[in-house]
Every structure is written in C-alpha cells, then in structure tokens.
Structure 1
C-alpha cells in the first residue's frame, strides 16, 4: 500500500471514530434530556393529581388508583409515602409512569405514552447518521488530497534524487518538490541536497587531486621515456622501456578517468554498422577472439569511444577470464563472454571501481572496466556485468537501453550503471 492510501485510510478511520463518538454523545445526551423532561412533567402531573385526589377523593387528570398493570418496581419505590417515575418499554410501546402513595394500601398513578419522544430521537439519529457519513466522506476526501500531495512530492524527490545519483549536478531535490511549504518533506529534500553537495565537493576534490597528480607525472615521465630510448641495447634497457610504457599507460588511463569523472565529455555521434564495426575492431586486436553477428543493426554512436569500450572488455576477458573468448553482436547489443571463474561478487553487485584488482588476477590496475563504464555513460549506453548460469563472465554493452529495459535472460546477477 502506497503512502497516499495509508494516509487516506488513517484519516478515514479517524473520521469514522470521531463521527461515531460525537453521534453517540449527542444521541445519549438528547435521550437523557428527553427522558428527564418527561419525568419532570409526569412528576408535576402526579403532584397535581394528588392535590385533586386529596380534595375530591377521586382520581383526576387521567390518573388511576391501583391499576393492575402498575409495574412492581414502581410500586415498591412509592411505598412509605414517596412519589416516583419510571420509563417502561413493554414491547408494544414505551410509557412514562408516575406514582404516589395515597394510603398504606393505595397508589395513585399516571401513564403517558413515550412514543413521541422516541420518534424525535429517531429523527435525530437519522440526522446524525447523515452528518456522520458526510464527515467520513469529507475526511476521506481530505485524506486523498493530503496523501496525493505528499505522495507526489515524495515521488518527485525520489526522481530528482535518482538524477543526482546518475550524475546530474544541476538537479536539486528541494526545487523538484517545490519550496512553497516547510514541512518534513522539504526538510528531507534540503538534507538530500546538502548531502549531494557535500559528496560532490568531495568527489570533485578527489578528481582534481587525481588529475593534478597525473598531469604532474607527465613531465618527468616524458623525460624518463626519452632517457630510456637512449639506453644501450640490452636486457636492462628492455625492462626499463617496458616499465616506462606501463607507467605511461597508467598515467593516460588515470587522466581519462579524471576526464570522465567531470561529466563534461561529449560524444561525436555517427551511424555505425555494429556487426562490421565489431568484426573490424576485434579481429586485429585479438585474432583468437571469435566474433559472432546474430543480427546486425545500424546505431548512432561515437566509434572512438565504442572501440575503447570494446577493447577494454576484450582485454579484461583475456587477462582475467579463460578461453574461449567470444564477442556476440545481437542488434544494438555487444556481449563479451569468457569461460573463466566469472566476475567477483563485489563487481557484480557494486560495479567496477578504480584500482580494484581481481583476486588472483594477472596484473592490471583496475581501470579498464572503470573507463569502459565511463565511456558507456558518455554514449548513453548501458554496461551490464553478469555471471551466466553455465559459468564464465559476460559483459554486455547495450547501445539502445530504452528499447531493452531488461537484461538478457539466463544471467544470475547483473549490475547496471546507466
């Protein structure tokens, strides 16, 4: 049950309880008042009848002397010279009695129908029922309106928070829900905005530090590369040149990650025949990788960035998986599959993270999948990591994620970062 209907149900329940309580209170108060007034009138009438009986010796004003239908409870109450009243419901009708003792053995009594008072009480009950139904209907309507307003604001806040989580820095939750009120929803929105700003500031600071370090390393790295080329031929020189190449590649990867973190990269889109493109790019890079084109499609993408994604996924499969490694093109999807031990659970559940290496992996700096994910975000594509049920690891690039809202069947776990 959504929050809207919970609020509506609560307000309706409270309205029902309030309406029932007020109706019962008014009913009982009016019934007591009618009975009290009837008793007072009957008391005055029996006293007047007593005075006339004392003067004439005959029952007057509709009074009777020792009637056979006099209730025993009333008879016992007037013994000893008292007067009393009694409201009796015989099943055939209701009556109000008044009696007084005129001698040790005789009782003078009056009986008047009480049905008019009961009719008035029934009329009041009908009015109370209509009023109660009106109150409940108004309460339920108010609950629907209040719940709908709060639900809409919270849904807007959730959508805005999702945009912030996806990297949209211009979105503010407080602006999405409206700043007209200062309730708990507005306080929550301001708190989320403050948290997002704090996290963004921290990420930006980390990105600047990473980019600055990489830039600062470029100058000595250029000199180191030049010096390595001047070394005399030999095994030591080859080792130095190899380590310099690795260091240079690492610096370039760090700079690329820093650029992708800024969320300012823009793709240069063009139409690409995906099957032919994948075959041409994969075959020269890794001849041992099999490329299967199930269905070809022409997609609008950035060839340079797509090639970077494809090469990184193939490299990752070759380094950390096991042969055979295959690339499969199915429409706007490219899947890179190996038959190793599969992706680590942390990568599947949380996504790739920079400088995170696979347990037992063969080298690398943990930046390949991070760069692939960043480039996929620039392209508006969806990069999915999964461990198929029959083993191995599968990375899928979906260049038309809006047309494929679900991940391929047969995957046990997947992690998507749109």
Structure 2
C-alpha cells in the first residue's frame, strides 16, 4: 500500500532541509567516530604500555623474591576472568576492567605454580577523558547541525521565495494578466551573479512581453478588419434593400445580415480585449431581466424563478450575456430550453448533446465549433467577456441526464 505524504513534504524547502540534516548528521557521525577511535586508541595504548611496563617490573621482583608493589598481586580477585585464562595459558595480555569500583587497566602474565601475576593501573582519568570527549562531540555536532540547518534553510528559503514569485506571475499570465512581470532584481543588474532562478524569471518576462505584443497585434488586426468592413457592409446592406423582391434577394440580404452580425461581434470582442469597457450599474430584478431576454429572443424558452433577487449590475451587458446563452442553447442544443433564476445564480440549460469537452475544460474558443454546428464560436466568447466586465463568473458544464448547462453567478 502506498503511503500518502502530507502536501508540505513535497516542497523544495523541506526536501533541502531534510537533505542538509541527513548530510550533517552523517558527517558529524563520521567525524565523531574517527575522533573517538583515535583518542581512545591513544589513551588505551598509553595505559596498556604503562601496565605492561609495571608487569615486567613486578615479574622481575617476584622472581627475585622481593616484595611486590601495592598495585601488583598474584591471582587478585578483581582480575577479569578472560585475562586470567590468558595468563594461565602462558601468555601476557592487557584488558580494561574494574578494581574496587573504578576503571582500571589490567596486565597479567604467568608465574610459577600455574598462577597469574597481575598489575592494575588506574584508568579513571582516561575513562573521564573519553567520556568528556564523547559529550563534546555530541554537543558540537548538535550545534553544528543546528547552525548549518538554519543557514541552509535561510538560503533555500530565499531561493524558493523567488521561485514562488515566478510561479505566481506565471499563473497570473495564464489567467490573462499579460502585464504581470517577475522583475527579478538580478536580471536588471549585470554586475550581480545570474543564477538559474534569475534565468527562469528573465525567460518568463521575455515570454510574457512577446506574448503580449503578439496578442495586441492580433487585437489591433481584428479591430482594424472589423472597422474596415463596416463601411462597405453598410453600403452593401443599403444596396441589398434596393433589390427587387425574390428568393435571390432574400439570400443576399440574409448573408449580408450574417456578415454584419459577425463584424459587430468582432468589434465587440476587440473592445472587450482592450479591457477598457466600463459598467453602468443599476438595481435590477434578475427575474424581470430573464423574462425580458426570453421575450426579445422570440424563442420557446421557459423561465423558472426559484428565488428572485435585486442586484447591482449593468442591465445592457447582463441582457447581452443571457441573450447569447439562450441563442446558443437553441442554435446548438435541443429543447426544452429553460432559464432558472435562483438568487444571484442564473442557469441556462438545454437538452441537446451538451458542450464539447474542450469547452467545458478550457472555455469557449473563437471560430471553433464541432459537429458541423452553425456559428463562429463568438457568442459564448462575448458572453464570457461581458460576464468578466460585470464581475460575474460564467461556467459551462453538462448535465448528467444530458444537455448543456451554462451557469452565470453574479456578485
């Protein structure tokens, strides 16, 4: 079974802190072991040499029949059993043990009569030295790890803060704010070292500037084309009105009207793209606005009022949004079509095949339709743009039992 880690465990700062901590602990443990082994070997070696020297002197005194010193004796009771066995086997050796409750370095060797002659050297000072060294290693390691962790966390946090800023700007750009920039100070000062984060920030700012320039160019092109088409279309519409009645005249007038509608939609989109549209708020009852939109559409659309509400909004823009949603439901869906008012939420639903998957996931796209549907994909684009001007949120989904659902949430 896979364990689910908390969300914070995946952040760069936490990973860096864990890495620094593990490396510091490993380095401190390695250095501590090396120092401990080195000092212990030196301390034990000095005590061993002293004990063996005393053992030689005691052996010479014992063989000469002289009295032994106070630190030497034959078969002393505190002599470690393993060292006693070694001496009785005819060998000499040393071993750290205890004598009268304190650390001692024992040295023992064989003497006549199958007995062991032993010498003990006080090892208390050596034991205290090693214990003090171990404590110093532990405290210094803890201090070094804590200091390194704090300094490393501070350095990593500065980097991650810059990364978070870059990510936040990237999200703003993806949301449509092409004026957003990272403006990392390192990218503006050539004398400062340029690290990888600065390179990413500079690349993101360059990309945003390039994207903004291309988008503005496209917006200007769309607006210019729409404006240029307006004049000849006006003349063409006037000429079409002068044609004699008949089927060809009706076809010409219908195509001219469609072209005029397309041109007006392009002009409206270009105005929305500039972000300079202003709202003229007034108090409106949503149920009354919905009924007025349905009457103006001339379609068989049911208005369902669950809870009416008076809101501060721009009536013209709100009617434009709802009118486009109703027209889209009848043009691309199937009846029955209903407009439901529930407080500040207005829902337009049909019972057709539903919205395409791309539209539900990413919103409407200009000049994109699927399944041979009529239209240019501009109606829903205008509805989304006008909803943003109103400060409302327009979302698209499909009902479980079939049909497209457009939900307008006013604030």
Give your verdict on TM over 0.5. Answer: yes
The match for 2:396 is: 385
Deviation at 1:146, TM superposition (A): 4.3
Comparing 102-111 with 240-249, greater Cα deviation is found at: 102-111
The match for 1:405 is: none
Give the number of aligned pairs. Answer: 393
The match for 1:26 is: 35
The match for 1:312 is: 324
Deviation at 1:29, TM superposition (A): 1.9
Alignment of 1:240-255 (within 5 A): 240-255=252-267
The match for 1:224 is: 236
The match for 1:354 is: 366
CA RMSD across the alignment: 3.3
Counterparts of 1:119 and 1:135, CA distance in 2: 24
Structure 1, gaps ≥5 residues long: 79-83, 401-418
String of CA shifts for 1:258-310, please: whole Å, max 9, x gaps. 22222333333333222222222322323521112222223222222221111
The match for 1:406 is: none
Structure 2, gaps ≥5 residues long: 1-6
Distance 1:299 1:143, change over 3 A: farther
The match for 1:186 is: 198
Distance 1:107 1:338, change over 3 A: closer
**In the alignment, structure 1 residue 88 sits paired with structure 2 residue 96:** yes
Deviation at 1:380, TM superposition (A): 2.0
Deviation at 1:93, TM superposition (A): 6.1
Counterparts of 1:74 and 1:211, CA distance in 2: 108
- Could you tell me which of 301, 304, 309 is aligned with 1:297? 309
**In the alignment, structure 1 residue 38 sits paired with structure 2 residue 50:** no
**In the alignment, structure 1 residue 368 sits paired with structure 2 residue 392:** no
Are 1:157 and 1:177, in contact at CA under 8 Å, matched by a contact in 2? no
The match for 1:168 is: 177
Alignment of 1:23-172 (within 5 A): 23-46=32-55, 58=66, 60-62=68-70, 64=72, 67=75, 69=79, 71-73=84-86, 86-89=94-97, 94-98=103-107, 110-142=119-151, 144-172=153-181
Counterparts of 1:259 and 1:177, CA distance in 2: 37
Counterparts of 1:76 and 1:170, CA distance in 2: 92
Deviation at 1:174, TM superposition (A): 3.5
Deviation at 1:46, TM superposition (A): 4.7
Comparing 174-183 with 248-257, greater Cα deviation is found at: 174-183
The structure whose RCO (Cα within 8 Å, separation 6+) is larger is 1
Deviation at 1:244, TM superposition (A): 0.7
Are 1:39 and 1:85, in contact at CA under 8 Å, matched by a contact in 2? no
String of CA shifts for 1:201-230, please: whole Å, max 9, x gaps. 222232233223223322332232222222
Counterparts of 1:261 and 1:40, CA distance in 2: 92
